[in-house]
Amino acid sequence: MTRVRQTLERLGYTEHTDFDYEVEIRLYGVQRLWADAVLWDGQIPVVLIEVEGREADAPTGWAEARLKAIAWNPEDPIPIIWVAAGQQDRCYWAVEPDRRAGVCYVALDGQPDQLLCPDRLATLVGDYLRRQGAYLGHSGAGELQYRQILLDAFRGLSSSWDDHRRCQALLNALHGSRSRRLPNALRGIAERFGPILRGGSADPALAHAFRWLMRRYMRPLRPGRNDPVRRYGRYFTPSEVVQFLVQAVDPKPGERILDFACGTGGFLGYAARHLMERYGADPRNIAGQLFGYDRDATCVQITRTFVGLLLPGFQGSLNISQGDGLRLHRNDRDLQEFDVVLSNPPAGDLPENWERLGQEGYQWAGRGGGRQNLYEVAFLEQAIRLTQEGGRIGLVLPEGIWTNAQLRTLREQFLSRVTIRAIVGLPRGVFPFTPSKMCAVVFEKHRPPRGVEVLLAEVTRPKMSEQLSVLARQIGA
């Protein structure tokens, strides 16, 4: 492992930013495997590294590495494998998967020193990143420059800090922490970008570059279920999916818009842009329309910063605070109903003891009496509870919500109370750290009229962006 680390560091990669050890891979959510190391492009894994003590174990290492690289995402496996056995190295490359033959890795000529240097690596994995590009989409050269500036600052931070700590340090710098301990790498950022937040002119390219970097806060760092990212479903929602739901739900000036699990603030930021670009709304008014909650304090700060860079000077009017999205009705007695709810709430088993949800008026979520102790059920119910009659809702949910036999009764009740407009299946791997297949659902809170039409669609990996824009237009029409 020392040899692997030395090679990666020699190539300019930094632990916790560019590579991690002992990375958990969840095989269909049941079995768990661990990669010895993974080299990332942001949050996308590009090289899986398997280390064996003895050269004789190279064949075992190769077999294991291949299994893990495919298990990461069977529809688009990790493109490069590096097997380091004793003093011997061998790299393999996934050739375009042939649907019938399955994935095929071929040995690459050359040593990791040459093959994995950033330029060469970018060429090798270019197609793969373009396929994943749907989730990395950027809005132009300006944004790319900002990404580089922010990433350089990140790389200049102490190598003993993990990415979560780096994100928090960057936030402090942007918000004008006067601490003399502000790391040198962040001083330039604080001086250049801090004033924008406090009232400069809006800089969408900077805002989006900032959110792109903050994906790192949504990446699990520890193996196992106790990692807070996994436990609380703190995953990044790709911009294309956010944009699709915002366009499909079409928030209007004056409407109250809620994201009760706002993460990096994708929905609120894109809703703000939609209001400005489509309706020419005034930023001062928009700020008062947006309501966001997250249980995680850093996510709240990320959202305030992302939206703040789009609406500079109006941070004070934003209603974005730390809170439990499932208890909003209790925490804030003045909370009125919302016109629009847009969110990608966490999914899976509720992590805490939620028996009391029943007492709090939840009929579908919680324990006992046919309730389901699932995050997605609780948030789905909460979305309906907090939306006013006739209001519009756009959520990202696991596809199992439509097929899980245990949810049948709940589904029947749900479908009798709301009018579904569209269900769009998303490709596996859109959320790189969960094996679940997710979908985007658009619905309205009123009983379904007779003969209502529901748009059912499935988008595919290489063309996800374009397909989602076409669907959003169809729903809006």
Ligand X SMILES: C[S@@+](CC[C@H](N)C(=O)[O-])C[C@H]1O[C@@H](n2cnc3c(N)ncnc32)[C@H](O)[C@@H]1O
User: Which residues contact ligand X (rule: CB under 6 A)?
Assistant: 232-237, 242, 260-261, 263-267, 293-296, 299, 324-326, 344-346
Is the Cβ–Cβ distance between 459 and 426 less than 8 Å? yes
The single-letter DSSP state of residue 468 is: H
- Between helix 184-197 and helix 141-155 the angle, nearest 10°, is 140
The span from the CA of 107 to the CA of 75, in Å, is 21
Q: Looking at beta carbons only, is 81 or 328 nearer to ligand X? A: 328
Q: How many DSSP H helices and E strands does the chain contain?
A: 19, 14
Q: Looking at beta carbons only, is 183 or 238 nearer to ligand X? A: 238
Find the shortest distance in angstroms from Cβ 386 to ligand X: 13
Quick one: tokens of 363?
A: 């009929």
Find the shortest distance in angstroms from Cβ 295 to ligand X: 4
Q: Looking at beta carbons only, is 216 or 421 nearer to ligand X? A: 216
Burial of 408 (0-12, 13-18, 19+ CB in 10 A): exposed
Find the shortest distance in angstroms from Cβ 242 to ligand X: 6
DSSP 105-157: EEEPSS-HHHHTSHHHHHHHTHHHHHHHGGGT----HHHHHHHHHHHHHHHTS
Find the shortest distance in angstroms from Cβ 96 to ligand X: 31
The span from the CA of 465 to the CA of 132, in Å, is 10
Q: Looking at beta carbons only, is 315 or 344 nearer to ligand X? A: 344
Find the shortest distance in angstroms from Cβ 369 to ligand X: 21
Q: Looking at beta carbons only, is 112 or 233 nearer to ligand X? A: 233
The span from the CA of 466 to the CA of 212, in Å, is 20
Q: Looking at beta carbons only, is 234 or 421 nearer to ligand X? A: 234
Q: Residue number with the shortest CB distance to ligand X?
A: 263
Find the shortest distance in angstroms from Cβ 236 to ligand X: 5
Q: Looking at beta carbons only, is 229 or 407 nearer to ligand X? A: 229
Find the shortest distance in angstroms from Cβ 43 to ligand X: 11
Query: How far from chain centre, in Å, is Cα 111?
Result: 34
The single-letter DSSP state of residue 84 is: E
